[in-house]
Amino acid sequence: MADTPQAAPATAQMSFSVKAQYVKDLSFEIPHAPDIFRRLTQSPAVTVNIDVNARPLPGGNEYEVVLSINAKAEREDETIFVVELSYAAVFEAINIPQEALQPALLIEAPRLIFPFARAIVADLTRESSLPPLLIQPIDFVQLYQQKLGAQTAGQA
């Protein structure tokens, strides 16, 4: 009797999905309004800082990912505006291997929610009688690698 090939063991289906997304915190200031609108004749220098953090939620398969955007526009020594946004989402990760979970949470998750956060910042600045702040696309792989490098340096 010939050997019959055995069926490969069934592998569990992996799933990574968004369950909810929301503004966790938002702050916007125009410290010198309304005078700044009369004096604003040229584009200000804008600095944007991005950070991503993730934490497990009770229950085992859900995680909160928070994308933080801090932007400041200045002209000479005068602040035009400051915006601080924490945009968050709850992700469900089912059967994601442990070694792939952190990259999924800190690279793929922010990549999915970034367009929504970017739109909030652009709309907020535009609705405040300022030119919309259009944040350039972010390389979340590079941000993740920088974060890993900083953690490694901190442990050394």
| Domains in the chain, CATH or no CATH each | 25-136 (3.10.420.10)
Residue 79 token pair: 């602040």
* CA-CA-CA-CA torsion sign (105, 109, 110, 116): negative
Condensed to tens digits (0 to 9), the pLDDT of residues 15-60 reads: 999 999 999 999 999 998 888 888 777 788 999 999 999 999 998 8
- Residues 6+ positions from 60 with CB-CB distance below 8 Å: none
Condensed to tens digits (0 to 9), the pLDDT of residues 98-150 reads: 999 999 999 999 999 999 999 999 999 999 999 899 999 999 999 999 988 88
pLDDT higher than threshold 60 for residue 6: no
- Residues 6+ positions from 126 with CB-CB distance below 8 Å: 132
